[in-house]
Chains A and B, each alone.
Chain A
Amino acid sequence: MTTLIGKSLLAYGGVMADDVFKALADPTRRRILDELADRNGQTLFEICARLTTRHGLGLSRQAVSQHLAVLEAAGLVVSRREGRYKFHDLRTDPLKHIVSRWLGPQPPESTP
């Protein structure tokens, strides 16, 4: 991100809300999040296999990698190395930020 001009002031941890909305705008990326919500900590191979066999999305490995890069830029997915393997985890913090923007503080459940 080279400039903040024209960007939302809603930022957290260096990630802008624009990145989150952009990441969520694509149905394939939402499917990837669905699958990571089903089980966290997947290899690229598992994500590709799930998209192909469960959703009929015959994407190339490179295409899935690019989708993951967009999700990582938005802070929705983090990849971690564990020994020789690389796993991908879902992170929902950015979603809480964009939702709380409009929902605001929750009113008290009941007032005596």
Chain B
Amino acid sequence: MRINLTSVFVEDQEKALRFYTDVLGFEKKHDVPLGGEDRWLTVVSPEDPDGVELLLEPNKHPAVMPYTTALVEDGIPATAFAVDDVRAEFDRLSELGVRFTQEPTEMGSVTTAVLDDTVGNLIQIMHTGS
């Protein structure tokens, strides 16, 4: 058994795809129409194109909005991505207009920051060390 997929609920799949590829730098892996306007839409890291896929999942179920809204209000990330240098990513992404709810901070053995993905979620980026 392997973990090869994880997901975030997104408010708008096309807008999400733009953010996760153009801004964060992931690459589109699968894009399959599901009938209607929904798509099976996944992205992967260019550093690991055969690695874990991130599913950009439509948020249409009525339970999703209360869930994501409550998490965002308290600053809680939906998921976390590994980066080489949180401060360098913070600088790069801030230049691109990305909104951070937590600036780079040493949290014990890791350094973390939290950003808004513009489609309803907060995302934590982290690296090990200071």
Chain A residues in contact with chain B, CB under 8 A?
Answer: 39, 42-46, 49-50, 52-54, 61, 84-87
What is the minimal beta-carbon distance from A38 to any residue of chain B, in angstroms? 9
Q: A84-B72, A85-B73 are in contact. Are A45 and B114 (CB under 8 A)?
A: yes
Interface-lining segment among B20-28, B48-56, B88-96, B102-110? B102-110
In the assembled complex, B42 has its CB within 8 A of some CB on chain A: no
Q: Shortest distance in angstroms between B101's beta carbon and chain A's nearest beta carbon?
A: 5
Q: Mark B91-130, 1 if CB is under 8 A from A, else 0.
A: 0000000000111010111101010000000000000000
B76 with A45: CB separation less than 8 A:
yes
Answer yes or no: B74 CB below 8 A from chain A CBs.
yes
The CB with the most chain A CB atoms within 10 A, among B69, B75, B102, B112, is that of: B75
Please provide the 6 A-B residue pairs with the shortest distance between their CB atoms, ordered closest to farther.
Answer: A43-B75, A53-B108, A45-B75, A53-B107, A44-B74, A45-B76
Contact partner of B75 (CB less than 8 A), chosen from A46, A52, A53, A54, is: A46
User: Count the B residues whose beta carbon is within 8 Å of the partner chain — how many?
Assistant: 17
Contact B74 A43 (CB under 8 A): yes
Q: Report A-chain residues with C-beta under 8 Å of the C-beta of B69.
A: 84
B105–A50 touching, CB < 8 Å: yes
CB-nearest residue of chain A relative to B124?
A45
Which residue of chain B has its CB nearest to the CB of A49?
B107
**CB closest chain-B residue, reference A64:** B74
Contacts A49-B112, A86-B75 given; 10 further ones with Cβ under 8 A?
A: A39-B103, A43-B74, A43-B76, A45-B76, A46-B75, A46-B105, A52-B108, A54-B107, A84-B69, A85-B75
B75, closest chain A residue (CB): A43
Within 8 A of A (CB), among B1-22: none
Chain A to chain B contacts (Cβ below 8 Å), 10 pairs: A39-B105, A42-B102, A43-B74, A43-B76, A44-B74, A44-B75, A45-B76, A46-B105, A52-B108, A53-B110
